[in-house]
């Protein structure tokens, strides 16, 4: 009897190990943009319902975190709300990783204040002046006589980088404008939303997927004359909303297997339907 067990046990372990390994090859790790976490999770859940023997794990941390993880080889796919930097491509080449970019959705970046704030619209220049600390009081913009509390994301956020490059520096590489040092760096978009909800002085920014009734999204115009436009799906699709950006997936080299199948799913009608449900903007085909 004992001998029999001695023989069967290793075989059993070997077989179960193989089975488990087989299972493991059907799982992928996705890391990156906090803006895209909710979207990614919705995609993953729907995908896993459709293909029950696959497993997809989605975690946030910021676009930079995701791209760093892709370079280090600790995830299969990185979500990013900004394009990869040359520095990161060089770094990846050193680690024999070839990042491939796929555009999966669009996002409008909302500039938000508390619903109690009388301000409804701002120009891009005003917003830049607020976030760089040139304007410090709501009165200067025709609002209440209250100090402005500037909320930003941490530096590991793609949204932080995008906002700095496209609003503070107006897309000009040579400008060196920075967020004011008095800006509060919040650990997540949700933390910004929570603070806006209870603070009339605060102004912040995040992907329009996080908007709800407890915050007010400002209408934004490129300059004083321009039409002031609210961040809605329609306005992002027709291009009239100023602050919109692509949401991206980076993979290592040509996609295959589960990674390819998952990306195909995100780009399918069903996947793009989910994009709309999470309040992001589907890509126009």
Partner 1 sequence: MTRNSSKLRISEFLIEKAIYLSGLTTILIVVLIFIFLAKEGLSLFKHITLSQFLLGKKWYPISEVPQFGILPLIYGSLLVTLGAALISVPIGIASATYIAEVASPKIKEVLKSGIELLAAIPSVVLGFIGMVTLVPLVKSTFKVPTGLTAFSGSLILAFMAMPTIVSIAEDALNAVPKKYKEAALALGATRWQAIWRVTLRAASPGIVAAIMLGIGRVIGETMAVMMVTGNAARIPTSIFQPVRTLTATIAAEMGETVRGSDHFHSLFAIGIVLFVITFTINLIADFALHRKNT
- DSSP assignment of 88-153 equals HHHHHHHTT--EEEEEEEEEEEEEEE-TT----EEEHHHHHHHHHTS--BGGGGTS-S-B-EEEEE
CA 123, CA 135: separation in Å to the nearest integer? 13
Q: Which is nearer to partner 1, 46 or 190 (CB)?
A: 190
Q: Which is nearer to partner 1, 125 or 194 (CB)?
A: 194
Q: Which is nearer to partner 1, 126 or 195 (CB)?
A: 195
Instruction: Output the smallest distance, CB 190 to partner 1, in A.
Output: 10
Q: Which is nearer to partner 1, 89 or 219 (CB)?
A: 89
Q: Are 92 and 99 in contact (CB under 8 A)?
A: yes
Q: Which is nearer to partner 1, 65 or 232 (CB)?
A: 65
N residues, the chain: 285
Instruction: Output the smallest distance, CB 191 to partner 1, in A.
Output: 7
Q: Which is nearer to partner 1, 179 or 262 (CB)?
A: 179
Q: Which is nearer to partner 1, 173 or 254 (CB)?
A: 173
Binding site for partner 1 (CB under 8 A): 61-62, 64-65, 68, 71-72, 87-88, 91, 146-149, 154-156, 161, 176, 178, 181-187, 191, 194-195, 198-199, 201-202
CA distances from 261 to 50, 102, 191, 247 (A): 12, 13, 34, 18
CA distances from 53 to 15, 27, 37, 58, 258 (A): 18, 9, 22, 17, 11
Instruction: Output the smallest distance, CB 67 to partner 1, in A.
Output: 9
CA distances from 58 to 37, 42, 88, 116, 248 (A): 7, 10, 22, 35, 15
- How many other CB atoms are there within 10 angstroms of residue 119's CB atom? 16
Instruction: Output the smallest distance, CB 250 to partner 1, in A.
Output: 14
CA 221, CA 211: separation in Å to the nearest integer? 19
Instruction: Output the smallest distance, CB 142 to partner 1, in A.
Output: 19
Query: Quick one: how many helices (H) and strands (E) in the chain?
Result: 10, 11
Instruction: Output the smallest distance, CB 32 to partner 1, in A.
Output: 10
Instruction: Output the smallest distance, CB 26 to partner 1, in A.
Output: 27
Pairing of strands 244-252, 99-113: antiparallel
């Amino acid at each position: 009897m004992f001998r029999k067990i001695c023989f069967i046990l290793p075989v059993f372990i070997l077989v179960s190990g193989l089975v488990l390994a087989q299972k493991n090859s059907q799982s992928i790790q996705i890391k990156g943009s906090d803006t895209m976490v909710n979207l990614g999770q919705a995609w993953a859940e729907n995908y896993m319902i459709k293909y029950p023997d696959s497993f997809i794990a989605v975690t946030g941390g910021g676009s930079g975190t995701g791209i760093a993880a892709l370079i280090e080889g600790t995830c299969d796919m990185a979500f990013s709300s900004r394009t990869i930097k040359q520095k990161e491509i060089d770094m990846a080449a050193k680690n024999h990783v070839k990042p491939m970019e796929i555009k999966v959705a669009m996002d409008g970046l909302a500039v938000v204040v508390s619903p109690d704030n009388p301000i409804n619209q701002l120009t891009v220049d005003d917003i830049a002046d607020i976030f760089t600390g040139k304007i410090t009081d709501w009165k200067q913009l025709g609002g209440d006589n209250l100090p402005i509390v500037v909320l930003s994301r941490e530096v590991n956020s793609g949204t932080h980088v995008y906002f700095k490059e496209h609003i503070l520096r107006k897309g000009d590489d040579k400008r060196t404008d920075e967020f004011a040092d008095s800006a509060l760096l919040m650990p997540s978009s949700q933390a910004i939303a929570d603070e806006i909800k209870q603070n009339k002085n605060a102004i912040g920014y995040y992907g329009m997927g996080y908007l709800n009734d407890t915050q007010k999204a400002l209408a934004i115009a490129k300059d004083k004359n321009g039409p002031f436009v609210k961040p809605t799906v329609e306005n992002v699709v027709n291009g009239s909303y100023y602050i919109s950006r692509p949401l991206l997936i980076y993979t290592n080299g040509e996609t295959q297997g589960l990674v390819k199948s998952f990306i195909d799913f995100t780009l399918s009608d069903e996947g793009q339907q989910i994009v709309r449900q999470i309040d992001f903007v589907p890509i126009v085909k």
